[in-house]
Structure 1
Amino acid sequence: MRLIPVLTAILVMLALYGIVFQREALFSFARGDAGAEPLEQTDTGDAAATSAAPAIGVVVLRSQAQQIDSAVILRGQTKALRQVEVRAETSANVISEPLRKGTYVQTGDLLCKLDPGTRESALAEAQARLSEAKSRVPETKARLAEAQALLAEAKINFNAAQKLSEGGYASDTRLASAQAAMRSAEAGIATATSGLETSKSGIEAAAAAVAAASREIERLEIRAPFEGLLESDTAELGSLMQPGSLCATIIQLDPIKLVGYVPETDVNRVRIGAPAGAELTNGSRVQGQVMFISRSADSATRTFEVEISVPNPDLTIRDGQTAEIAIAADGAMAHRLPQSALTLNNDGQLGVRIVGEDEIVAFRPVELLRDDVDGIWVSGLSDSADVIVVGQDFVTEGVRVKPTYREAAK
């Protein structure tokens, strides 16, 4: 009784094997064909079906490489050309009306005027002492001349007494007296010379006192060191100023600087005097030239500071605005493509798919140079390339396609 289920199971397995693995042979047997011949014909038919599979339609852009300026792109900000905090150098009360922030001042304009107090009297006193010192010079010169005359007379008397003493006509006492008179005249010259030097020193000291008093008076008027805008109100009327007290803050915005940081991989592409452009956050575009490239990298970011000078005659560019900066570098050959043409291969590499020989798809890695309103500029392709711009994500490398070509826009 148990043999029948076993036989039934074997028959079912044989039937399934024939249906699954020998389906074509069974069909051929049913049609009356030979057993080996249908299998060979089936293999040939599969290859023909594969070769005759319909090609995938794609849109291809015929692109020609063009010469472009390979710009160095970086982010930065605007910065005033100069910003100075003008401070007092002496102590006094402010006696001038304040200027309000935003006022445009010229070089030398008065910002703060301080109370002179007794400084003018000190200057007059120093000038009087200078005049007194100068008046002593003729007197000391006369004393020196008198001493020189006495010395000459003493020398004559000494020579005469010496000759008379040698001939026995003058005593030793007379000779000693003449010699003492000569020594006294020499001492008088030294004293007169010292008095003249003292008078000259007095003149120099008095002149220094006059200069110090004059400089102290000059410090009473605090003036603008350059033309620019007041970033703060000047010191209020009546306020007490000490040395170092703030009078005003001035910034110069024409020309203005764009400051950015270039990576160390691109710093050698930037040159002094290279043209540069920038787009500010408000959408305005400005042009300028590179004026400074740092020789020392930032220790934290390993980037180099770059400064660009930009004309700003109407002062519309403010200090501290964010800017997207592009610095012109050596030119390069590149293709302009739609941004949608970019894709990734299985390794995650950025590139495009092109149509090669026999209309077979190939992948080419590219480097993105810049982007604009018309598309992106890439390098890494040959001078002429057929780039798939529609359908590139539905084909893979080695697949045959049916391209529809379109010319690149000029």
Structure 2
Amino acid sequence: MKPLPIIIALLVSAFLYLMVFERDRLLDFASTAPEQPVAQTLQPAELQAVTPATDPVRLVTVVAINSVAQTVNSAVLLRGRTEAARQVNVMAETSGKVISSPLRKGAYIEAGQTLCQLDPGTRQSRLNEAVARQIEANARLPEANARTMGAEASLAEARISENAARRLNISGYASQTRAASAKAALQAALAGVESAKAAVISAKASGQAAMASVAAIKKDIENLTITAPFAGLLETDSAELGALLQPGALCATIIQLDPIKLVGFAPETEVDRVTVGAMAGARLATGREVVGRVTFLSRSADPKTRTFRVEVEVPNTGLAIRDGQTVEIIVASDGASAHLLPQSSLTLNNNGDLGVRFVGKDSIVGFAPVSILRDTTEGIWVAGLPNVIDVIVIGHEYVIKGVKVNATYREANQ
């Protein structure tokens, strides 16, 4: 077996090891010139002070751009769905058979329009009876008041008689029996007054009960007509003709789509950038684009997703946007200072931090971590850098922090 292939393989393996595992040391070694032998010729002290003992260092050449920070409009991207502004299941509040023809789903309904009409049955007769009882109760009240006045007059007369009989008995001009009889008459008059007052209270209670009965029957008759609480679209057919509805039975479902709500969910890292009243744009899965404002931002996170509900209200003239469509929402936020850099200029340091290498003072390479704001066709917007910085865009993978380089510059848009 010839030794040459083995030797070549060993050399290649050693080279690959140096390039992968000892890259920093290899670059440091490559960027430093070999030491020169010290000249034997003696020189004056002044000349030795200004004459270098080595040749100029070989520097790695890199290409950099002078980047100046710009203010960019920052936005929060949310994904969600459309929701009807209002949706309600209109229920029956009384029992009865439907005597109206059903309205079909998809029909536009005005506020107050009849959805279901129920058979009144004997309710009108019961109302007439309750009204008659109310009239009778109201008629008994003046009679009870008159009886009360008569009882009070009898009480006053009985008090006078009892007082006179008692005095005469003390003076010896009337018997004790007469005084006792007058006292008994006074007690009877007091009982009569109390009875008359009780009759007044009973008459008033009967009147109020009759009034309440009349009001309840009238309300029950009003509930026979089930109307729409607001204008919107029927999401279901109304109850069929002849159907028996009980209290709580569904008559119809109405939704309001103008305006319509766009509901998104903001993560914890982005929620502070969303404010109520901020402008928002949205794109539906159909490609339709709409604009509105943020009307609600939840203060409580969803316990499962740890996201916060965001609602945007947009006009929906013509009702072209439906309930439940997928939507992407972009909420405007305050502008941020950022640099537009080529995406290829981003790199990682030894700790795995994303950032860029730049040319600092005395052409020494530095590293600065960045955060990505937005990716565009012109480049990537990053934050976290000084207002003015020389970012290395070519050769940054071959240098490390602290190395001196030979930097050439190009325009940022090249």
> Residues 140-289 of structure 1: matches in 2 within 5 Å?
140-289=144-293
Matched residue type, 1:126 = A
Tell me the secondary structure at the aligned position of residue 287 of structure 2. Answer: coil
- Please tell me whether residue 405 in structure 1 is matched to residue 410 in structure 2: yes
Residue 126 of structure 1, CA deviation: 1.2
Larger mean CA deviation between 150-159 and 333-342 belongs to: 333-342
Cα 1:317–1:386, aligned 2, differ >3 Å: closer, same or farther?
farther
Paired residues of 1:343 and 1:392 also in contact (CA < 8 A): no
Aligned identity (percent) is: 55
Cα 1:157–1:77, aligned 2, differ >3 Å: closer, same or farther?
same
Aligned length in residues: 362
Q: For residue 101 of structure 1, what is the aligned residue in structure 2?
A: 105
Task: Provide Cα deviations, 1:225-269, integer angstroms capped at 9, x if missing partner.
Answer: 122221111111221112221111111222222222222233333
Q: For residue 84 of structure 2, what is the aligned residue in structure 1?
A: 80
Rg comparison, structure with higher value: 1
Cα 1:256–1:118, aligned 2, differ >3 Å: closer, same or farther?
same
For 1:115 and 1:401, how far apart are their aligned partners in 2? 95
> Residues 259-408 of structure 1: matches in 2 within 5 Å?
259-337=263-341, 339=343, 342=346, 349-352=353-356, 364-372=368-376, 375-387=379-391, 397=400, 405-408=410-413
Paired residues of 2:362 and 2:404 also in contact (CA < 8 A): no
Tell me the secondary structure at the aligned position of residue 258 of structure 2. Answer: coil
- Please tell me whether residue 89 in structure 1 is matched to residue 93 in structure 2: yes
For 1:164 and 1:314, how far apart are their aligned partners in 2? 100
For 1:277 and 1:192, how far apart are their aligned partners in 2? 77
Paired residues of 2:110 and 2:228 also in contact (CA < 8 A): yes
Aligned CA RMSD, in angstroms, stands at: 3.1
Residue 293 of structure 1, CA deviation: 2.5
Residue 330 of structure 1, CA deviation: 3.5
Cα 1:314–1:340, aligned 2, differ >3 Å: closer, same or farther?
farther
Cα 1:62–1:237, aligned 2, differ >3 Å: closer, same or farther?
farther
Paired residues of 2:71 and 2:336 also in contact (CA < 8 A): yes
Paired residues of 2:359 and 2:407 also in contact (CA < 8 A): no
Cα 1:326–1:222, aligned 2, differ >3 Å: closer, same or farther?
same
Larger mean CA deviation between 106-115 and 294-303 belongs to: 294-303
Paired residues of 1:353 and 1:392 also in contact (CA < 8 A): no
Q: For residue 13 of structure 1, what is the aligned residue in structure 2?
A: none
Larger mean CA deviation between 175-184 and 136-145 belongs to: 175-184
For 1:260 and 1:353, how far apart are their aligned partners in 2? 37
For 1:303 and 1:380, how far apart are their aligned partners in 2? 26
Residue 174 of structure 1, CA deviation: 1.7
Larger mean CA deviation between 244-253 and 188-197 belongs to: 244-253
For 1:401 and 1:253, how far apart are their aligned partners in 2? 64
Larger mean CA deviation between 327-336 and 134-143 belongs to: 327-336
Q: For residue 123 of structure 1, what is the aligned residue in structure 2?
A: 127
Residue 67 of structure 1, CA deviation: 1.4
Residue 98 of structure 1, CA deviation: 1.6
Paired residues of 2:127 and 2:214 also in contact (CA < 8 A): yes
Paired residues of 1:360 and 1:401 also in contact (CA < 8 A): no
Paired residues of 1:87 and 1:248 also in contact (CA < 8 A): yes
Cα 1:289–1:189, aligned 2, differ >3 Å: closer, same or farther?
same
Tell me the secondary structure at the aligned position of residue 244 of structure 1. Answer: coil
Task: Provide Cα deviations, 1:207-226, integer angstroms capped at 9, x if missing partner.
Answer: 11111111111111111112
For 2:391 and 2:127, how far apart are their aligned partners in 1? 86
Larger mean CA deviation between 212-221 and 61-70 belongs to: 61-70
> Residues 35-50 of structure 1: matches in 2 within 5 Å?
none
Query: What stretches of structure 2 of length at least 5 have no aligned partner?
Result: 1-33, 37-53
Matched residue type, 1:203 = G
Paired residues of 1:63 and 1:408 also in contact (CA < 8 A): no
Matched residue type, 2:293 = Q
For 1:357 and 1:341, how far apart are their aligned partners in 2? 20
Residue 335 of structure 1, CA deviation: 2.0
Tell me the secondary structure at the aligned position of residue 80 of structure 1. Answer: strand
Q: For residue 24 of structure 1, what is the aligned residue in structure 2?
A: none
For 1:240 and 1:373, how far apart are their aligned partners in 2? 64
Matched residue type, 1:177 = S
Task: Provide Cα deviations, 1:178-233, integer angstroms capped at 9, x if missing partner.
Answer: 11111111111100000000001101111111111111111111111122221111
Cα 1:341–1:238, aligned 2, differ >3 Å: closer, same or farther?
farther
For 1:61 and 1:222, how far apart are their aligned partners in 2? 73
Tell me the secondary structure at the aligned position of residue 74 of structure 1. Answer: strand
Cα 1:154–1:259, aligned 2, differ >3 Å: closer, same or farther?
same
For 1:152 and 1:131, how far apart are their aligned partners in 2? 33
Residue 406 of structure 1, CA deviation: 3.0
For 1:373 and 1:237, how far apart are their aligned partners in 2? 62
For 2:103 and 2:357, how far apart are their aligned partners in 1? 66
